[in-house]
Amino acid sequence: MLWGPVIGLGLVSLAADVVSDGARPLAGPLLAQLGASALLVGLVTGAAEAAAQGLRLVFGPWADRTRKYWTFTLAGYGLTAVCVPLLAVAPLAGTSGLVLASVLIIGDRIGKAVRSPAKTVLLAAAAKPVGRGRGFAVHKSLDLIGALLGPVLVAAVLTATGNLSAAFAVLSVPAAAAMFLLFWLRRRMPGLGPTEQAVPAGRIRETAVGPAAPHVDGGPASLFTRSFVLFAAAAFCWSAGLVAFGVISFHLTTTAGVPVSVVALLYAAAMAAAALGALASGALYDRSGAWVLLSIPVLTAAVPVLALSPVTGLAVAGVLIWGIALGIQDSTVKALLADLVPEQRQGAAYGVFAAFQGAGALAGGILYGVLYDTRPPLIASVAVLQLLASVVLVAALRGTRSN
């Protein structure tokens, strides 16, 4: 079955995202309960996203060098399966609770960095027979179903108990399920992944503007083509503007007066919007090329205007737009990278690219933390970043067309 490996990896992501994304909307309220300021929330959540992206620069090449893609995938999911349920202990840890929660929140995202390049290489191999745009979109949609179910689950627990610790503790069940499914899949598909002969050495496929783009020769340095570097620079800019949800959830609970259980449901709605964005952009990418990615900076620029509004209705709209932008960024962007880079170097490529995204996420966390109380400068700063992202992205896509 051509779709079997894609669906299998998607189900693993579904279970794991019940865990990780079930906890994600609770990060801001948890830190606030433990005494954190807006700046600290921005720093912790920004550092967490920076770790999730930036450390792929280490683990991507490491996975390529050792070719132990399954090992890194298992280790990364295992770290998330441990860190998230342990957040249940933070409110009970007294004065050290804030430090413990911060470490565990960042630890969960480090798990993302460990597994993501290796898992994406496995997925790129699995999706090749069915079309990478569609394959990545279907995987992301399954992933986002988990990201939707997780917040619904914790919202139900919060409604029943009013206890954050109980909400985190219940996530140990899907964490165990994710690890069981992953070990089962590993036994069933041990050979999944690129082979040494999959793509001739020094061969790079420049297909950023469509599936019929030409091949371009190059050596080891071909990873750092002008188009790749410009694309990564654009990703830095839009990542700096796409605020971590921890800041949004902090705002919703402390300024907009939204109950924590409702915040979890809003995050679930954002994940549903992300799934739709991933499916739509993936189909457009396979049909028309990478110009669909120009929608990311446009959507990102609207997020601080709406999501950080004191008006609940506008904030909800901002959360949905945030979800759509995230869905495109986490699916179609990866499909483009798989087409830009030889299979043997995809782990390194995802790692380098993610380092740009991680640096942007850290800069964005600081930006939002510092300017949270002065909204107009924050909105203007994000708008400038997204204008720059658009200009650089256009230059990147024109560069690939000329190759």
pLDDT digits (tens, 9 = 90+) for 242-271: 988 888 999 999 888 889 999 999 999 988
Residue with tokens 């019929």: 212
Phi, psi dihedral angles at 61 (to 5 degrees): -60, -35
Residue with tokens 């929140």: 105
First-residue to last-residue Cα distance in the chain: 35
Hey, what are 109's tokens? Answer: 């995202």
Cα–Cα nearest to 182, from 19, 56, 10: 10
* pLDDT score, position 210: 39
Residues 304-321: pLDDT tens digits? 999 999 888 999 999 999
For residue 221, pLDDT beyond 50? no
| 223: three-class secondary structure by DSSP | helix
Q: Residues of 46-85 as b/e, b for ≥16 C-beta within 10 angstroms? A: bbbbbbbbbbbbebbbbbbeebebbebbbebbbbbbbbbb
Residue with tokens 């995050």: 267
Is the backbone of residue 229 left (phi > 0), alpha (psi -120 to 50) or beta? alpha
Hey, what are 9's tokens? Answer: 């990896």
Mean predicted confidence (pLDDT) in 35-55? 88
Residues 147-168: pLDDT tens digits? 889 999 999 999 999 999 999 9
Residues 59-96: pLDDT tens digits? 888 888 888 999 999 999 999 999 999 999 999 988 89
* pLDDT score, position 272: 86
Contacts of 343 (CB under 8 A, 6+ apart): 121, 124, 125, 194, 198, 199
Residues 332-344: pLDDT tens digits? 887 777 777 777 7
Cα–Cα nearest to 174, from 196, 148, 209, 200: 148
Hey, what are 22's tokens? Answer: 């079930």
Phi, psi dihedral angles at 106 (to 5 degrees): -70, -35
| Cα dihedral 263, 265, 266, 268 in deg (nearest 10) | 130
CA 220 to chain centre: 27
> Residue 197: which pLDDT band, with cuts at 50, 70 and 90?
very low
Contacts of 313 (CB under 8 A, 6+ apart): none
Q: What percent of the chain shows pLDDT beyond 90?
A: 43
Q: Would you say 118 and 59 are in contact if contact means Cβ atoms under 8 Å apart?
A: yes
Q: Would you say 268 and 140 are in contact if contact means Cβ atoms under 8 Å apart?
A: no
The pTM of this model reads 0.76
Q: Would you say 346 and 193 are in contact if contact means Cβ atoms under 8 Å apart?
A: no
Radius of gyration of the chain (CA): 20
Phi, psi dihedral angles at 203 (to 5 degrees): -110, 125
Q: How far apart are CA 336 and CA 349, in angstroms?
A: 11
For residue 123, pLDDT beyond 50? yes
Phi, psi dihedral angles at 210 (to 5 degrees): 155, 160
Rounded to whole angstroms, the maximal C-alpha distance in the chain is 60
For residue 206, pLDDT beyond 50? no
Domains and CATH numbers, the chain: 4-188+202-402 (1.20.1250.20)
* pLDDT score, position 50: 86
Distances in Å between the Cα of 77 and the Cα atoms of 105, 153, 347 are 14, 20, 17
